[in-house]
Structure 1
Amino acid sequence: MVENSCTYPQTLVEAIRYFQDPAVCVEFMAQMRWPLGVECPHCQSKRHSFLRTRRIWKCLECRKQFSAKVGTVFEDSAIPLDKWLTAVWLVVNCKNGISSWELHRTLKVTQKAAWFMLHRIRTALQDVPFGKMGGPGVEVEVDETYVGAKAENIHKSRKERIKRLREQTVEPNSIMARYYAKTPIQGFLDREERKVRATVIPNVKRETLQERILSQVEKGSHVYTDQAMAYTHLQSHFVHEVVNHLETYVKGRVHTNGLENFWSLLKRSLKGSYVAVEPFHLFRYVDEQVFRYNNRATKENPLNDADRFLLAMHQVAGKRLTYAEVTGKAGTTPF
């Protein structure tokens, strides 16, 4: 649980009013980043002076100047903090996400800037898993889904490329050929913690899926999957039980309906808010939905909008996303 959120804005309207003063924005960022006192992001010294007219600090050790944005996903952005903070609030609290066009109209920034802002915020929302899910006796659902356009909606030029690749790597008329134009995502749901992990994967081959299961799930866990052949031979590491979706979707406690619910939420946001998502960027959209799902309000953890906002703000430091990276010019890949 985050610190007492009652001292901060509780609604979007309150947040806009609260952050309209640039000095308040800088003070808030300093509290989020340095709860024990401001320290230089370059040399970690706590000896500094504050240049009030410019709202920046000057380190008395390395002599470098720094703002509240340095060392965060907001670094090197000319967009003021009040708009950044409003954008973060919208992303984490809009259940189906917010498109770059909607953010462009709301904040009065260009659509291009709004698009880049959203990708930076999604980078901040990426969770770094600590340890594996599950444990002896703990139930973990494992499933995969596919995201992408239907074959009849794909542009002719792209269809030709897919057809050539399919002929080279996928057996014609096979099940894989049906989904070759789509991007696979694998997900895990820990029923005890009620947390999801999901990531884009390069393929759905047995070695790919099982390697990720071994890296994400503790041995001895009760692993529930569908009848896919890629999940065979997991019994040597887990208590593996299967539900055959050709016959039923629930077999006692054996089902993957929790993950199916998450896939439904993910696809609703992709189709409804974002409409067209390139495979290269898909992993960030998945991270965004994972953050919202894992920080939803439950009886055990009654988070509100302010709580989610503060959780997100605690994750903005130590992460960067450059325009070269987001456009693919830096040579990065999601896998």
Structure 2
Amino acid sequence: MDLITFQRRFGTEPACRKRLFELRWPEGFRCPRCGCHEAYHLENRSLYQCVECKFQTSLTAGTVMHRTRTPLVKWFWAIYLVATDKRGLSALALSRKIDIGLKCAWTMLHKIRKAMEARDAGYQLAGLIQVDDAFFSGGVKKGGGKRGRGASKVPVLVMAATRDEAITFARMEVLESVDGDHIKAVLQKRVADSQSIKTDGLPAFNVAKQIGHEHIPVVVYPKKGEPDYDVLKWVNIMVSNAKAFILGTYHGVMGKHLQKYLNEFCYRFNRRFWPGQGFDRLLRACSCASPVTYAELRG
């Protein structure tokens, strides 16, 4: 959706409320408590009251916009800007673009990322899946900090599902440690049963066979000759692109928030072939995702 079309369709609060109503209740109002399909609209309070049980709810209740004081027009703008800028959007940039406070912008963006996470959580990886570990910076220290696998590095499990040598879906999960137990937990959660998993020779990846997958270990670093990075081509591309995305737009992130930015990167990557549907898809995700508080986002 181009900018002119977006502004024409969602430039007013009533227009935004109408679209959100359609997404929340596509078959008409349904009481979240008793299931009744009839309600009174309390316009002065922007609430809907069930005619049967008298329960009151709002359009934003039960979504990432739960109890928001920010106008829906600005929420729609934020979602549109996030969806249409493939580089991502910082809190400072969003605060300037839609005239809101920096804390509000930070909260909105993290709630949108929460919706992205919830949307991708509904899919499991299938096919031939390339899996490898990588290390991301988990904060910026004065003086540059330690390079390589140091205290400021966060281990991440990178998974790329492929079909006919093309990548179909990707996930990246922060690990507490690169060991069999933590890798096993992620694979059980994110990979469908009985798939083929290609890894390098790290012994920790042997858990793939233990939990019912076909394990295909490959030699990336031979004793003689140059490393063969192409055997895990897609995970290497994912790591390179994710690091560029995080450093280019956000100039680094704290370790405790890294997973949220990896979720955003993967959500965008997994929908890269449908840029014209970006806003509609993300708005739908935000209307379906469960509420999350500022305290929960701060961690």
After TM superposition, the score normalised by the length of structure 2 is 0.86
State how far apart, in whole Å, the 1-side matches of 2:31 and 2:209 are: 51
**Residue of structure 1 in register with 2:234 after alignment:** 258
State how far apart, in whole Å, the 1-side matches of 2:90 and 2:123 are: 33
State how far apart, in whole Å, the 2-side matches of 1:131 and 1:285 are: 18
State how far apart, in whole Å, the 2-side matches of 1:50 and 1:205 are: 55
For residues 219-246 of structure 1, the C-alpha deviation after alignment (integer angstroms, 9 at most, x for no partner) is 5433222233322464564141314146
Hey, which of these two has a bigger chunk of helix by percent? 2
State how far apart, in whole Å, the 2-side matches of 1:315 and 1:227 are: 38
Confirm or deny: 8 A CA contact 2:13 2:73 kept in the other structure.
Answer: yes
Confirm or deny: 8 A CA contact 2:137 2:152 kept in the other structure.
Answer: yes
**Residue of structure 1 in register with 2:162 after alignment:** 191
**Residue of structure 1 in register with 2:279 after alignment:** 309
1:32 aligns with 2:6: no
Return the offset for 1:271: 0.5
State how far apart, in whole Å, the 2-side matches of 1:124 and 1:233 are: 31
**Residue of structure 1 in register with 2:137 after alignment:** 148
Return the offset for 1:296: 1.1
1:88 aligns with 2:58: no
Tell me, which stretches of 5 or more residues in structure 2 are unaligned? none
For residues 147-166 of structure 1, the C-alpha deviation after alignment (integer angstroms, 9 at most, x for no partner) is 1168xx6248x97xx9xxxx
State how far apart, in whole Å, the 1-side matches of 2:187 and 2:45 are: 50
The alignment-based identity, stated in percent, is 26
Aligned residue pair count: 289
Return the offset for 1:201: 1.4
Structure 1 window deviating more from structure 2 (234-243 vs 62-71): it is 234-243
1:208 pairs with one of 171, 182, 191: 182
Confirm or deny: 8 A CA contact 1:234 1:240 kept in the other structure.
Answer: no
**Residue of structure 2 in register with 1:4 after alignment:** none
For residues 271-291 of structure 1, the C-alpha deviation after alignment (integer angstroms, 9 at most, x for no partner) is 011113111111111111111
Tell me, which stretches of 5 or more residues in structure 1 are unaligned? 1-9, 163-174, 298-302, 329-335
State how far apart, in whole Å, the 1-side matches of 2:193 and 2:214 are: 6
Return the offset for 1:44: 3.2
Confirm or deny: 8 A CA contact 2:125 2:170 kept in the other structure.
Answer: no
Confirm or deny: 8 A CA contact 2:180 2:207 kept in the other structure.
Answer: no
1:278 pairs with one of 254, 265, 276: 254
Q: Which amino acid aligns with 1:190?
A: A
Q: How does 1:71-82 map to 2 (within 5 A)?
A: 71-82=62-73
Confirm or deny: 8 A CA contact 2:138 2:255 kept in the other structure.
Answer: no
The change in CA–CA distance for 1:314 and 1:79 in structure 2 (over 3 A counts) is same
Q: Which amino acid aligns with 1:310?
A: D
1:231 pairs with one of 190, 196, 205: 205
Secondary structure of 2:285's partner? coil
For residues 267-316 of structure 1, the C-alpha deviation after alignment (integer angstroms, 9 at most, x for no partner) is 1221011113111111111111111111111xxxxx233x1222222222
Return the offset for 1:93: 2.4
Structure 1 window deviating more from structure 2 (259-268 vs 28-37): it is 259-268
Root-mean-square deviation over aligned CA pairs: 2.7
The change in CA–CA distance for 1:102 and 1:191 in structure 2 (over 3 A counts) is same
1:249 aligns with 2:228: yes
Confirm or deny: 8 A CA contact 2:60 2:66 kept in the other structure.
Answer: yes
**Residue of structure 2 in register with 1:125 after alignment:** 116
State how far apart, in whole Å, the 1-side matches of 2:229 and 2:251 are: 31
The change in CA–CA distance for 1:17 and 1:205 in structure 2 (over 3 A counts) is same
Secondary structure of 1:187's partner? strand
Return the offset for 1:17: 3.3
**Residue of structure 2 in register with 1:327 after alignment:** 298
Confirm or deny: 8 A CA contact 2:131 2:159 kept in the other structure.
Answer: yes
The change in CA–CA distance for 1:62 and 1:155 in structure 2 (over 3 A counts) is farther
Confirm or deny: 8 A CA contact 2:135 2:149 kept in the other structure.
Answer: no
State how far apart, in whole Å, the 2-side matches of 1:65 and 1:232 are: 53
Secondary structure of 1:210's partner? helix
After TM superposition, the score normalised by the length of structure 1 is 0.77
Return the offset for 1:111: 0.8
Confirm or deny: 8 A CA contact 1:142 1:189 kept in the other structure.
Answer: yes
Return the offset for 1:130: 4.4
Return the offset for 1:29: 0.1
